[in-house]
Structure 1
Amino acid sequence: MNIPEHDHDAIVRRAIELLGGKQEFFAEADRELADVNGRWKQNVEVIGRILRAHLFVEYYIGEYLAKANPRLGALGEAKISFAQKVALLDASNTDIALILPGIKRLNKIRNRLAHNLDAQVTEEDATVFLGSNRFAALRAARTAEQAQTNEPIEILEDFAKHVAMALNYEFSPLSKAIYQAIQEVQFGRSET
């Protein structure tokens, strides 16, 4: 709707009349602004940490899918959602199966944030991440070496890094070298 510039003053005057005068108009405007400001004042640090973890995991999922399916084409141009990318991961692969529940929970947290602006990671969320036995064992081993917090947001971030490592592992030169070394040392086979 294109309203000519000179009509704005008339619109404001009429809205003031409809609300019963200037005092009532500005009181209502203040109430609505207070509501907006209340929703605006969120814990931006936690929001940022959640979004960073989500974007980070999504990046590594995209990298994994491209490497696992080299003839797939430009995944970025396909404009598929996070959940659709997750659905493309091979759940029959044990390494993937171990991290899938946590990846899905991370998406649930991000969606929760988007729908109600509630920036928090709960103990229940952390429990889902720690349900990945390998992640929990690696984190426990790290905690034995250096102190870590058990704050749910810290667990979420650690899990995101674990996902990156898990998705990258299959295609990394380091993992290929380790696999070849295992074959040669334990089984006397050379893969070269």
Structure 2
Amino acid sequence: MTIRVLLADDEIMIRAGLRMVLEAEDDIEVVGEAADGERAVSATRALRPDVVLMDIRMPGTDGLVATRRIVAADPQVRIVVLTTFNEEAYVQEALRAGASGFLLKVAPPERLVEAIRAAYRGEALLDPLVTRAVIAAFAGIPPAAGPPPGLDRLTPREDEVLHMLARGLSNAEVAAELVVSEATAKTHVARVLMKLGLRDRVHAVIYAYEHGLVGPR
């Protein structure tokens, strides 16, 4: 399968560099570019990419608003935010908007490629430089009042898997802890996300923290 990618950044040299890195990969195709958020929304609708690489600060409609609009229109599109800024507010807002990954522009090319492939698989990748910001952003939020929506639909095993996802475990690590095959672990993960109406693993982490199912270690 070829991963179709849209580049959204207001700097033409940045887009040229990203295109060069990505088109060197056999399984990735850059299908279009956008210089602002409004064009990113339009291009996504027209080109139907699998993954959008989205800058945050762009003229007019910024990347956060564009992310929210793209995800609302087509939840299957994955957004990887690529920015020079690592403030907690940007990380938190980008993830809440529906982003499936967050990388700084200083990340090495192989990290960028890894993030796109992870997003395409329905997983998530956060730059190590912003991991602390993510923990601070979500672990410090008081749990929402009332029972977590959808939690009662999970089986005991699926509830266990949700807690493993909140700890950041991969499918292989989930399989090892449950002593099952990786394919079985993947099925459990998919069912958890489906029953809770979550886009991917990173939003399972947000769900768990926001509802007090796990706390900071």
TM bracket, shorter-chain basis: under 0.3
More strand by share: 2
More helix by share: 1
Greater gyration radius: 1
